Structure 1
Amino acid sequence: METLKITEMAKKKQTKIFVLDTNVILHDHTSIYQFQDNDIVIPITVLEELDKFKRGNDPINFQAREFVRELDEIVGDQLFNGGIKLGPDKGKLIIETGKPIPEEMKHSFREDIPDHRILAIAMYVGQKFPDRPTILITKDINLRMKAKSLKIQSEDYYNDKVKDIQILNKSVTELENFNDTLIEKLYSDNSIPVEQMELAERPDVNEYFIMKSPKASVLGRYDGGLKKMVRVEKKTAYGIKPRNAEQTFSLDALFNPEIKLVALTGKAGTGKTLLALAAALEQHKSFGQILLARPIVALSNRDLGFLPGDAQEKISPYMQPLFDNLSVIKHNFNARSAEYQKIEELLKEESLVITPLAYIRGRSLSNSYFIIDEAQNLTPHEIKTIITRAGEGTKLIFTGDLQQIDSPYLDMKSNGLAYMTEKMRNHEIFAHVNLLKGERSYLAELASDLL
């Protein structure tokens, strides 16, 4: 009877074996530590592929270098005989050398490519340890389908996936039939204790509200420190006026010195980047530098090498949307006006810098107003790297459209912008506004909704 109990306990404690694809490591170089006490297998092909990514200034190059350094630290003078323990309550790390591609794979996948070599190793590991679940972890959907066709269990890397995407899609909270007396009090006192509102649940910190009654309406933000609903007033930023409540809320967050981290999400044409840049220019005296950057994600899986010209000419098409936003602001003023001349002066002195995100690496982020556009194309680790480098007096604004992700290995739940928004939610230094209403044109709005 005692022997039976021990056998049952052993079954319960049975660990899994996870085979990691290259893209998982390039997504998160700490991924080997995220699988609890299960064993990790790194195919030798993955190390070969990582070697190609070690040079360069892009985030994936950084991930590759960091992983190789970490691997060297773990291994030291040891050999990989039977694997190396990753730490207390962790499994072993095993480097599996190349294995012959089985005949059943050759019939379906004739080409000898890294993906197929990784599949061959996953199949070999599964056959070597038939009593333990072997799972291939990859962010490549097509590779997952290939694995499953060979009866190899395969999953995405879930460690940094957002759990509830509906929270991110939520815009402002609207309260219909709101108390007229409270609206009047908000206008007269600029704030009311949240307890007087008799809400079903306490709002999130820095959550925005539209409160309506048959007679009037008012905009508000819940201040978690004061535990009050604070009235939000319309502001103008360097000639840009908000056209709807969402844009008004965005400017409130962008101007608030207590809010150091802002996420502006929404489809194209809602004014995210324009508002962020206008607010930065309006506050240029409060910051030593304004930085406006975006990651370069080449379309159609083609890198910058195929574009003609020098480095500056290659990146110019990717930066043009940022210059377009600056032009919109400049054209609100006469070329001889003080505002127009100030923009030219900031550009000339490099107090206003528009650049690819990779070129920011190594620069000081102290006392800076830093806008990161197209942040939905960043991984959670890349977002973390940016935020953790923010020095004293720096404000960070991440903008992006969660519906338009260009990276083949990110989706609505795994991109860095969504991850950051979920994790930072309900903190006093963070605010999120999801803009729903497009302001470019009826045609652009219709295309965004229907196409």
Structure 2
Amino acid sequence: MKTIYVLDTNVLLQDPFAMFAFHEHEIVIPAVVLEEIDSKKRYMDEIGRNARQVARLLDTLRERGKIHEGVVLDSGGRVRVELNHRSLDELNDYFIEVTNDHRILAVAYNIQREQRERNAHPVVLVSKDALMRVKADVLGLKSEDFLNDRIVQFDHMYKGYEERFVTGEKLDSLYEKKRIPTNEIVTGDFLPHQFLVLKDATGSSASAIAKVNQDATKVELLKNKSLEAIWGIKPRNVQQRMAMELLLRDDLPLVTLVGKAGTGKTLLSLAAGLSQTEDHHMYNKLLVTRPVIPVGKDIGFLPGEKEEKLRPWMQPIYDNLEYLFNTKRSEELEKILAGMGSIQVEALTYIRGRSIPDQFIIIDEAQNLTKHEAKTILTRVGEGSKVVLMGDPKQIDHPYLDEYSNGLTYVVEQLKTLSLSGHVKLEKGERSSFAQLAADWL
């Protein structure tokens, strides 16, 4: 049986193509949704871009017929803009205030009542707003979150490594030959640059850390070079060794790192970037950037020039640089950075339209990127550059994203099969025992 889906504004602002994701079912867009989208179309950000995209898509659909009567989609479904069913009389007993949310609820509720009288189609309100879904439930109206934009459940997200148990003979063979065909040591399908933590199946303490090569045909023993200190930073656990291996590889233009706060993502990346830029001169510049998304209430406009405005947003980066350069005052770091000239710290706001060749690019807090923003950034990367995307998908500050639909998760899952990318999920916090406790329990 066909279902009538009533879309909330936030669904279309999250994914402008959401109206095409319901196959043969009927899509209803309340007129008030168009009003809300119209109020967002002048925003110079992702929300504004999506609002303008929705307007263009609806305008294109008008060519197929009168959109207020409903037009047929290629999937067999229909989409229409609902101008009727706006009465709030039935909602006044529950919600007295007249808001746009309540007007959308009224449309869905009145359509449902009409369909039940005809014993016709079920009605479902689709909204990204949890409280909107709660209000719908109060009214006896079925509601759902829009899940089509989710890439993967976080618990099933690609970790970049697997733990396998093998015989002691296979471990000995790996240590002796350093490189073995994949099917000779483990069975199953593996991805390029995936790591393997191999343990003795008999229960002995013998183990090995190996890495699948770029065409997933051989398993290579991880070299002890990954244990060496880089700019005073030495990997403290297995996952940090894996991360450092990927960060120091000159044949991997993309590295993604995922992990809770304090697992060392930023510090390892900066150390690797400084080593390859300043010591080995593999890149002309180290570019460090992050999205300008506040935690909590925004403090508003900041005084000063661009560098002064960006300093509060970029302070976490400067904290790590102060540690690496062993400086005790910010003035010392400023002098060092000015003298070197090859380290650039800036916000992602200014990256559109650029081409960035021969640079080591670190993008922190990438979980606050949308899928479109992540694509925009990666398409800015020029020849000879390496980009590192890192963040914690469980710490989302962006109002329209969650841990299943953000740009970082999207990049990890979409590019994990490519030989030009590598990924590791960092598990253990190394900032402090208290920071690890807070990350685990809060």
TM-score interval for Structure 1 and Structure 2 normalised by the shorter chain: 0.7 to 0.9
1:267 aligns with 2:260: yes
Q: Which residue of 2 aligns with 1:356?
A: 347
For 1:299-448, what aligned pairs fall within 5 Å after superposition? 299-300=295-296, 302-303=297-298, 305=300, 308-309=302-303, 312=306, 315-331=310-326, 343-345=337-339, 348=341, 351-448=342-439
1:297 aligns with 2:293: yes
- Indicate how the Cα distance of structure 1 residues 226 and 49 shifts in structure 2: closer, same or farther if over 3 A, else same: closer
Identity %: 38
Q: Is the 8 A contact 1:182 1:192 kept in 2?
A: no
Once residues 79 and 285 of structure 2 are traced to their aligned partners in structure 1, the CA distance between those partners, rounded to angstroms, is 45
- Indicate how the Cα distance of structure 1 residues 132 and 395 shifts in structure 2: closer, same or farther if over 3 A, else same: farther
Once residues 334 and 324 of structure 2 are traced to their aligned partners in structure 1, the CA distance between those partners, rounded to angstroms, is 9
CA RMSD of aligned residues (A): 3.3
Once residues 396 and 125 of structure 1 are traced to their aligned partners in structure 2, the CA distance between those partners, rounded to angstroms, is 50
Once residues 253 and 95 of structure 1 are traced to their aligned partners in structure 2, the CA distance between those partners, rounded to angstroms, is 50
- Indicate how the Cα distance of structure 1 residues 304 and 363 shifts in structure 2: closer, same or farther if over 3 A, else same: farther
Q: Is the 8 A contact 1:16 1:134 kept in 2?
A: yes
Give the deviation of 1:248 after TM superposition: 1.1
Q: Which residue of 2 aligns with 1:66?
A: 53
Give the deviation of 1:115 after TM superposition: 1.2
Give the deviation of 1:46 after TM superposition: 2.0
For 1:32-431, what aligned pairs fall within 5 Å after superposition? 32-75=19-62, 79-86=66-73, 88-97=74-83, 99-130=85-116, 131-168=120-157, 170=159, 172-175=161-164, 178-179=167-168, 182-197=170-185, 199-212=186-199, 214=204, 216-225=206-215, 227-233=217-223, 234=226, 235-284=228-277, 285-300=281-296, 302-303=297-298, 305=300, 308-309=302-303, 312=306, 315-331=310-326, 343-345=337-339, 348=341, 351-431=342-422
Give the deviation of 1:244 after TM superposition: 1.5
Give the deviation of 1:147 after TM superposition: 1.1
Once residues 225 and 163 of structure 1 are traced to their aligned partners in structure 2, the CA distance between those partners, rounded to angstroms, is 24
- Indicate how the Cα distance of structure 1 residues 262 and 133 shifts in structure 2: closer, same or farther if over 3 A, else same: farther
Q: Is the 8 A contact 1:212 1:218 kept in 2?
A: yes
Report the secondary structure of 1:30's partner residue.
Answer: helix
Q: Is the 8 A contact 2:158 2:412 kept in 1?
A: no
- Indicate how the Cα distance of structure 1 residues 148 and 389 shifts in structure 2: closer, same or farther if over 3 A, else same: farther
Normalised to the residue count of structure 1, the TM-score between the two structures is 0.83
Once residues 36 and 389 of structure 1 are traced to their aligned partners in structure 2, the CA distance between those partners, rounded to angstroms, is 34
Q: Is the 8 A contact 1:57 1:358 kept in 2?
A: no
Once residues 218 and 379 of structure 1 are traced to their aligned partners in structure 2, the CA distance between those partners, rounded to angstroms, is 37
Q: How many residues align?
A: 428
Give the deviation of 1:272 after TM superposition: 0.7
- Indicate how the Cα distance of structure 1 residues 77 and 165 shifts in structure 2: closer, same or farther if over 3 A, else same: closer
Once residues 84 and 38 of structure 1 are traced to their aligned partners in structure 2, the CA distance between those partners, rounded to angstroms, is 12
Once residues 237 and 252 of structure 1 are traced to their aligned partners in structure 2, the CA distance between those partners, rounded to angstroms, is 11
Question: Mind listing any 5+ residue stretches in structure 1 that lack a counterpart?
Answer: 1-13
Report the secondary structure of 2:37's partner residue.
Answer: helix
- Indicate how the Cα distance of structure 1 residues 270 and 427 shifts in structure 2: closer, same or farther if over 3 A, else same: same
Give the deviation of 1:356 after TM superposition: 2.5
Once residues 362 and 227 of structure 1 are traced to their aligned partners in structure 2, the CA distance between those partners, rounded to angstroms, is 39
Q: Deviations over 1:253-279 (max 9, x none)?
A: 122233333221111100112212222
Q: Is the 8 A contact 2:353 2:380 kept in 1?
A: no
Normalised to the residue count of structure 2, the TM-score between the two structures is 0.85
Q: Quick check: 249-258 or 209-218, which moved more?
A: 209-218
Once residues 335 and 303 of structure 2 are traced to their aligned partners in structure 1, the CA distance between those partners, rounded to angstroms, is 31
